[in-house]
A and B are shown apart, each in its own frame.
Chain A
């Protein structure tokens, strides 16, 4: 049973556009929600993270929106660039010990 459901599986966006990736969860005990970026042949790297006491967090072109009542959170990439082409994973954890990852979104930004 997938603890964190992620969509879409793949996404193609024009350069300069907005990329949006969505995740949903059921376990209300989750208290930490990170997003990871992964390039081919590399391990995932933390991109941005949020805790459920805030509804939005922005770091540069990357924004997490968090809807606690709907148990959903999303990653927005503004002004998407070809260098953003990668696989993105959402995740959730309780107390930082066990992390549950989404199934990943392959993002392609075309020039």
Chain B
């Protein structure tokens, strides 16, 4: 099993550009989520999904869209990137709705100029 795979690992964008961060898991996990990690802020939940076709907002959803068409994939879209979205983004998945234990990917480091 590869676990949780995030692509790309690094990305530089210009303000206003759009992009999609990819997240895939091969563990047949129902629950998937996206976090951003900023210095001194810990991890903050952006969006999460409890199964294919079901998504919901987390703590900091503004500026991000998600969809969950399959169990395996949970992409995160930035429609119009802003410098405030410069961060390290982590995707996580877990077996059931209780969300434990969460398996994290190794992150995407995103810089927006």
Contacts and interface: CB of A to CB of B under 8 A. Distances in A.
A6 to B, nearest CB: 7
Nearest to A90: B42
A34 B97 CA distance: 15
Contacts of B44: 101
Contacts of A43: 4, 90, 92, 104-107
Interface residues of B, number: 29
A34 B104 contact: no
A102 B97 CA distance: 22
A101 B45 CA distance: 9
The range of chain A's interface size is 20 to 34
B26 interface: no
A32 B97 CA distance: 13
A100 B107 CA distance: 18
Given A6-B42, A102-B42, A44 B97 contact: no
A45 B104 contact: yes
Contacts of A101: 35, 42-44
A93 B94 CA distance: 14
B12 interface: no
Given A42-B106, A43-B107, A96 B41 contact: no
B100 A46 contact: yes
B75 interface: no
Contacts of B96: 96
B90 A96 contact: no
Contacts of B100: 32, 34, 46, 49, 96
A89 B42 contact: yes
Interface in B42-64: 42-45, 48, 50, 56, 58-59
Which 8 pairs of residues, A with B, have the shortest CB-CB distance? A43-B104, A96-B99, A96-B98, A101-B42, A46-B101, A101-B43, A103-B42, A44-B104
Given A96-B94, A99-B45, 10 more contacts: A34-B101, A41-B106, A43-B4, A46-B100, A49-B101, A91-B43, A95-B98, A101-B43, A103-B40, A104-B42
